[in-house]
Amino acid sequence: MRPAAPAAPEGEAAAPAEGGDAAPAAGAVTIAWWDYMAAANGAALDTQMANYMEANPSVAVERTYIPFADLKQKLLQGAAAGQLPDVVIIDNPDHSSFAALGVFADLTDLVQTWGQADSYFEGPWASTVYQGKNYGIPDNSNCLVLWYNKDLTEPAGVQPPANWDELVSASAALSDGDRYGLAMSGVKSEEGTFQWLPFLWMTGEDLPTLDSDGGRAALQLWTDLVNDGYMSPGILNWTQGDVKGQFENGLAAMMVNGPWQIPVLKDEAPDLNWDVVTLPVEKQGASILGGENTAIVGSTENLDAAWELLTWRQEPDNLKAYLLEAGKLPSKADMAQDEAWTSDPVLNVFVEQLKVAKPRNYGPNYPEISNAIQEMMQAAISGQKPVDAAVADAQAVITPLLPA
Amino acid sequence: MAVTTNQNLDGKQGAPRRRRLRTRELGYYLFLAPAFAFICFTMIYPVFSNLRMSVYGVNVATFLSNTAPFVGLSNYTKVLQDPTFQNAFMLSVLFTIGSLVFQFTIGFALAVLFNRSFPGNGLLRALMLLGWMLPTVVSGSIYRWMFDGDNGIINYLLQSVGLMDSARFWLIEPRTALIGTIVANIWVGIPFNMILLLPGRQSISHTLYEAASIDGATGWQSFRRITLPLMRPVALSVLLLGFIYTFKVFDIVYVMTCGGPVNATTVLPIYVYLLSFNFFRFGDGAAAAVLLLLPLSVVAIGYLWLSQREEAAS
């Protein structure tokens, strides 16, 4: 590993979308902004920035696109070299790591004066908090739901499953020849953890009590689904994009996936007759919270201007326009009640599911914790370890890594 | 060289000459300067700063504050005692040996083949390079789907010729996952081996083979007695370079398996990546990177020694 090698060629990193070409007025402030939003998401940000600069001629926002896979590395290198932007959009499970690194500014006082914290869903908001202090504002949210192919479930007389037993029996009934009943992602990356954790939470347990009946049951569920042939062993190498591919091609009748697949499926498979339903319930309903937060970098010289910009983005009209253009779900509880989301039957399922979506708020050691979960899943599902041993081993790794 | 001859000169004209020489020498060094600066900034500095980091307790809490304590070799002991590291080291050795043996043998055979003239030689040789020119992400993804248990072409082929009864999930089973990544890496590396070996084969004069055949040597005998010994220097260079390139392979493995199942394909470079850029254990990651660099340095020095000896011989 050569630490100095740049994560991406400079030309690529600095590519698109300088906000506007209006010459900044006297006493102007330039806010440097990093994110990994491409396609519709990036365009929505550009629109928003252009609106902001029109309303605030003294501020110029310079957006830099950095591919998702490179953002963390770029932030680390930038932090070490003292070359960071003013504002960053970051994946919410990474937020606390970078807060712990000291990269983000402590916004506690500003947030208190602002007084809007209570209008957000608990999960997204909690992901911006580290050791009781505020380090950002949620940008958007997503969560996992169960997708099913109506052209396969209806002829088989299968109702969308409401609990684990029904999930297993539906998967069994829908498995046929080359086709599996269900597809989820168990790949050895954050995506695998992202897909499994909701099942742990459904049992009422959490990572501190992973080595429990609930933890074992959640892992056993996945292991059985694979061993009984209702889910492909291939899931251990499938990203969520691959899972979508299986579903799209009729090789899986149901899948667990997130709202970012809606525009993709509509575009790639307009004839696919699918619908969504909230994830099956065991002891309780649960899903996992995905999405991004905005944070201000601690080294900024434009704290006030950056804060102005972040809060402006959260004003109802501005936020709604942005989320709708980007095809994203709100992190604000009041906005989720807006007709724009509730009147759409598919989006409404996501908004409902969001109410029980939990963040991965396990402190700065989370990446290593997540790695232990991935190893546990892969060991049990590929048959290298019995479920109870896999769970016990994972607990032994995880417990010392959890925040005190 | 100019310098040595001029040092032998003395007498009245010595002083001005030497001054003129100095300026000329300075010129040489000026030409070297960009390359030297490049190497300093992009290689020497990072290697030293990595060495430094490897003896400090750099982690999430101390990365920015610059308060990391000096911890001596404790990062190294921690890494060396980590079963995942030991496993990764072993996997890297297996991966490298497995890749090299086949890349080299097949590359060598192809070099011998392409040394003959036959219609389409040039076209085929150009096509061969395709595998090497493809971005690794592309070849990795292709191999990932070829080895897929449900719809992979490798299962289909093996089953249709009767070599296998039921489908195998090659990249999911711990014992076959590494083999899958090695196969992909062999495919990527064959053109590299062939292209470097071919000039070596071409440089062997026809006359040797003609003389041998007049003396009644069989094709196999000329291959063993002429081709092999005369290609030894170039073959050794190719093997050493191949070792260096293969031991540090990250991308094709990561694209195919992310290091899984569990850690069955977590080779050393993936292990280092996880420590530094995923777990933010920078000190440990730096120590692991140094341990990765050690075998590479030994081989690189061997390669330099070998190529210098060859230069001296020629």
* A5 contacts in chain B (CB < 8 Å): 42, 46
A73/B277 touch (CB, cutoff 8 Å), yes or no: yes
Largest separation between any pair of C-alpha atoms in chain A:
70
Assess contact for A390 and A369: CB atoms under 8 A.
Answer: no
State both tokens at A92: 């919410």
Answer yes or no: is pLDDT of A2 > 70. no
Assess contact for B140 and B184: CB atoms under 8 A.
Answer: yes
B63/A80 touch (CB, cutoff 8 Å), yes or no: yes
pLDDT tier at A116, thresholds 50, 70, 90: very high
Answer yes or no: is pLDDT of A47 > 50. yes
A76/B63 touch (CB, cutoff 8 Å), yes or no: yes
pLDDT tier at B57, thresholds 50, 70, 90: very high
Look up residue A4 and give its DSSP letter.
T
* Alpha helices by DSSP H, A24-140: 39-55, 68-81, 95-101, 108-114, 122-126
The confidence score (pLDDT) of residue B4 equals 43
User: Which of A3, A232, A379 has the CB atom closest to B262's CB atom?
Assistant: A379
List pLDDT tens digits, range B215-252.
Answer: 998 889 999 999 999 998 899 989 999 999 999 999 99
Percent of chain A with pLDDT over 70: 93
Answer yes or no: is pLDDT of A179 > 60. yes
Assess contact for B184 and B139: CB atoms under 8 A.
Answer: yes
The percent of chain B in helix, strand and coil, each rounded to the nearest 5, is 75, 0, 25
Answer yes or no: is pLDDT of B276 > 50. yes
- Nearest-10 crossing angle of helices A303-314, A316-326: 70
Scanning every residue of chain A, which has its alpha carbon at the shortest distance from the alpha carbon of B261? Answer: A378
**Across residues A211-236, what is the average pLDDT?**
97
Answer yes or no: is pLDDT of B5 > 80. no
Assess contact for A288 and A214: CB atoms under 8 A.
Answer: no
Scanning every residue of chain B, which has its alpha carbon at the shortest distance from the alpha carbon of A98? Answer: B60
User: Which of A102, A188, A367 has the CB atom closest to B279's CB atom?
Assistant: A367
**Across residues A246-260, what is the average pLDDT?**
95
B 156-195 near A (Cβ less than 8 A): 169, 171-174
Dihedral-angle region of residue B273 (phi above 0 means left; psi in -120 to 50 means alpha; beta otherwise): alpha
Percent of chain B with pLDDT over 90: 64
Q: How many CA atoms lie within 13 A of A178 on its CB side?
A: 9
Q: Does B296 touch chain A (CB under 8 A)?
A: no
**Across residues A312-324, what is the average pLDDT?**
94
* A3 contacts in chain B (CB < 8 Å): 46, 49-50, 276, 289
Q: Does A374 touch chain B (CB under 8 A)?
A: yes
CB pairs under 8 A between A and B: 108
User: Which of A5, A367, A378 has the CB atom closest to B260's CB atom?
Assistant: A378
* CA-based nearest residue to A237, from B168, B172, B288: B172
**Across residues A338-343, what is the average pLDDT?**
91
ipTM of the modeled complex: 0.84
Q: Does B43 touch chain A (CB under 8 A)?
A: yes
Assess contact for A212 and A222: CB atoms under 8 A.
Answer: no
Q: What are the CB-based long-range contacts (under 8 Å, 24+) for B67-70?
A: B68/B283
**Across residues A172-178, what is the average pLDDT?**
95
* A102 contacts in chain B (CB < 8 Å): 63-65
Identify the three-state secondary structure at position A137. Answer: strand
Answer yes or no: is pLDDT of A7 > 90. no
Q: Does B65 touch chain A (CB under 8 A)?
A: yes
Assess contact for A102 and A45: CB atoms under 8 A.
Answer: no
Answer with the residue of higher pLDDT: A81 or A152.
A152
**Across residues B127-133, what is the average pLDDT?**
84
C-alpha distances (whole Å) from A120 to each of A358, B4, B246, B248 are 13, 79, 50, 46
Strands A287-296 and A87-91, how do they pair? Answer: antiparallel
> Tokens 């020119």 appear where?
B133
Candidates A1, A12, A235, A369: best to mutate against B (most CBs of B within 10 A) is A1
Answer yes or no: is pLDDT of A3 > 50. no
Q: Does A102 touch chain B (CB under 8 A)?
A: yes
CB neighbours of B91 closer than 8 A, spacing ≥ 6?
Answer: B178, B264, B265, B266, B267, B268
